[in-house]
């Protein structure tokens, strides 16, 4: 019998968020010229923190398919996602907007930019993001759309079949990339890659497959899909490493370490799916999981603004660790003051509003 709650996921989500924070503060900020404060003590390790986003996508594959399978109705699924994402996002987006005005020497953000960012899909309108970390939210929403499509056609309980199809299609695209002269027209290929979330599909597929293993058992077919997703992820990791090195000549990113970290993600997720995590599974980590989302949303640009304003006047170590403590505290505040207070009310309101919509009249 499977457990009603997967406690390890909460801890894993927090660790992924923290890895991204360290990546931005200790490596990406100074390396990309966004932050005036270098932090060489952690930079060589923090450079790999960007992989926390890939772990986020694996967790989403697990949790979102779990949510969809439990609700089995499009309305309930959509409400659960809106309530999970938007209250914290609106709050964090507003905080970032106000901080950008207050802390930047020459603020270049506008109210229109802020208003469009509040939709969570500013990229679709070609509007600059207020927070660099927002880019991954549109990727998540595209995955939600694929899951929603399964609910619409009544196939959510046949998800494994569609995961296999998704994996095969992405594998074909990966193989096609090895023969650029034989590839499809660039425009059509871009559309297909976008619809299939090609760059990150391996992680969503892996997470969703781990949920199926957790729910139904480790059948050979599911383990094969997981192995295929792992292979696709490792293939694409080579592209990531080459891209990072091309963009930053000072990068020390090691392909072998990237492969090792990604493999560790797959192993940990499989152990969770198999219920082989021991005492970690028995201990609850609700607060760690709860603050991970606002932590991810809040940390990046505000951190850069603080570093640029106060360094080198203030000691780098004090600024670095003080900022991490500050964003952890702010994330906790968003969770307690916003999510706890308003998420349930929002869910009740949306449920009532949608249930009050009259059904289409039957044709005579």
State CA 352 to chain mean position distance.
Answer: 29
Q: Is residue 2 part of a domain?
A: no
Q: Is residue 361 part of a domain?
A: no
Please give the Cα distance from 290 to 231 (Å, whole number): 31
Task: Give me the count of residues in the chain.
Answer: 364
The position carrying tokens 């505040």 is 333
Q: What does the pLDDT look like over 284-319, one tens digit per residue? A: 888 999 999 999 999 999 999 999 999 999 999 999
Sign of the alpha-carbon torsion through 252, 130, 294, 323: positive
Q: Is residue 1 part of a domain?
A: no
Which tokens hold the place of 49? 């923190």
Residue 103 CB contacts under 8 Å (≥ 6 apart), including other chains: 302, 305, 306, 309
Q: Is residue 362 part of a domain?
A: no
Q: Is residue 360 part of a domain?
A: no
Please give the Cα distance from 332 to 224 (Å, whole number): 40
Residue 354 CB contacts under 8 Å (≥ 6 apart), including other chains: 75, 79
Which tokens hold the place of 116? 């469009």
Q: Is residue 242 part of a domain?
A: yes
Tens digit of each residue's pLDDT, the chain (364 residues): 455 678 899 999 999 999 999 999 999 999 999 999 999 999 999 999 999 999 999 999 999 999 999 987 899 999 999 999 999 999 999 999 999 999 887 678 999 999 999 999 999 999 999 999 999 999 999 999 999 999 999 999 999 999 999 999 999 999 988 876 655 566 788 899 999 999 999 999 999 999 999 999 999 999 999 999 999 999 999 888 888 888 887 788 999 999 999 999 999 999 999 999 888 878 888 899 999 999 999 999 999 999 999 999 999 999 999 999 999 999 999 999 999 999 889 989 998 887 765 544 334 3
Q: In terms of residue numbers, what domain contains 347?
A: 7-354
Q: What does the pLDDT look like over 56-70, one tens digit per residue? A: 999 999 999 999 999
| Number of structural domains in the chain | 1
Percent helix, strand, coil in the chain (nearest 5)? Answer: 80, 0, 20
Q: Is residue 359 part of a domain?
A: no
Q: Is residue 35 part of a domain?
A: yes
Rg, the chain, Cα only: 21
């Amino acid at each position: 019998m499977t457990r009603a709650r997967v406690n390890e996921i909460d801890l894993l989500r927090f660790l992924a968020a923290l890895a991204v924070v360290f990546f931005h503060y200790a490596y990406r900020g100074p390396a990309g010229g966004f932050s005036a404060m270098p932090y060489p003590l952690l930079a060589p390790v923090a450079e790999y923190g960007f992989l926390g986003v890939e772990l986020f996508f694996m967790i989403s594959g697990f949790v979102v398919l779990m949510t969809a399978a439990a609700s089995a109705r499009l309305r309930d699924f959509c409400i659960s996602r809106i309530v999970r994402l938007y209250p914290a996002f609106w709050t964090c987006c507003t905080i970032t907007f106000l901080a950008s005005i207050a802390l930047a020497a020459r603020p270049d953000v506008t109210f229109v930019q802020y208003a469009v960012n509040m939709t969570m899909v500013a990229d679709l309108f070609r509007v600059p993001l207020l927070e660099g970390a927002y880019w991954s939210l549109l990727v998540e929403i595209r995955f939600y759309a694929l899951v929603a499509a399964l609910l619409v056609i009544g196939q959510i309980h046949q998800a494994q079949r569609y995961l296999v199809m998704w994996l095969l299609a992405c594998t074909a695209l990966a193989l096609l990339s090895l023969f650029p002269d034989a590839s499809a027209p660039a425009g059509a290929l871009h559309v297909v890659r976008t619809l299939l979330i090609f760059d990150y599909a391996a992680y969503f597929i892996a997470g969703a497959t781990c949920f199926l293993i957790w729910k139904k058992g480790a059948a050979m077919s599911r383990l094969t899909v997981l192995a295929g997703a792992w292979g696709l992820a490792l293939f694409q990791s080579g592209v990531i490493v080459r891209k990072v090195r091309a963009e930053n000549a000072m990068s020390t990113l090691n392909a072998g370490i990237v492969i090792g970290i990604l493999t560790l993600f797959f192993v940990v997720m499989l152990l969770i799916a198999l219920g082989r995590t021991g005492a970690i599974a028995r201990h609850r980590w609700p607060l760690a999981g709860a603050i991970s989302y606002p932590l991810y949303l809040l940390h990046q640009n505000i951190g850069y603004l603080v570093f640029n304003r106060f360094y080198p006047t203030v000691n780098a170590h004090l600024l670095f660790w003080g900022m991490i403590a500050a964003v952890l505290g702010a994330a906790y505040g968003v969770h307690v003051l916003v999510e706890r207070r308003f998420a349930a009310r929002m869910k009740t309101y949306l449920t009532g509003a949608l249930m009050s919509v009259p059904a289409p009249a039957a044709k005579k």
